[in-house]
Amino acid sequence: MGLIEVNGIRVRAFHGCLEEEALIGGDYIVDVHVSGDLQDAERTDDLSRTVDYGHVTAIVKEQMAQRSRLIEHVAARILARLRAEWSGELHWRVRIVKLRPPIQGDVEQAVYTIEG
């Protein structure tokens, strides 16, 4: 069983329920973890036998560029795209961190994590 982690994908996006968020945007950090049987990649040294973290990053950026009101919705879209791209017995975890959300109080981040 192997684990690939692509951590700290930084993007500027325009998610949120407030109109200002659609105009100003905000900063986000996305982490993607995938676990499963990666022994073919270990044996063959062949990129096509594993999850390409460059492509993972491209999918995250693509989905983060599509505005949503909720980060839960964005996370579900990212997860669906990843699962469609790499079929098989892989377990995914997507974590979206919204930095300095515009809410009452001094809040550093709001985080949503989805697995599947």
Beta partners for residue 35, in sequence order = 3, 91
Distances (CA, A) of 55 to 52, 61, 115: 5, 10, 19
Write out the two tokens for 40.
Answer: 């073919």
- Cα–Cα distance measured from residue 10 to residue 19, given in angstroms and rounded to the nearest whole number: 22
Which is catalytic among the residues 54, 98, 100, 106?
A: 98
* Structure-token match 């109109």, residue found: 19
98 noted as active-site residue: yes
| Alpha helices (H) in the chain, listed in sequence order | 19-24, 39-44, 53-64, 71-85
Q: What are the catalytic residues?
A: 98
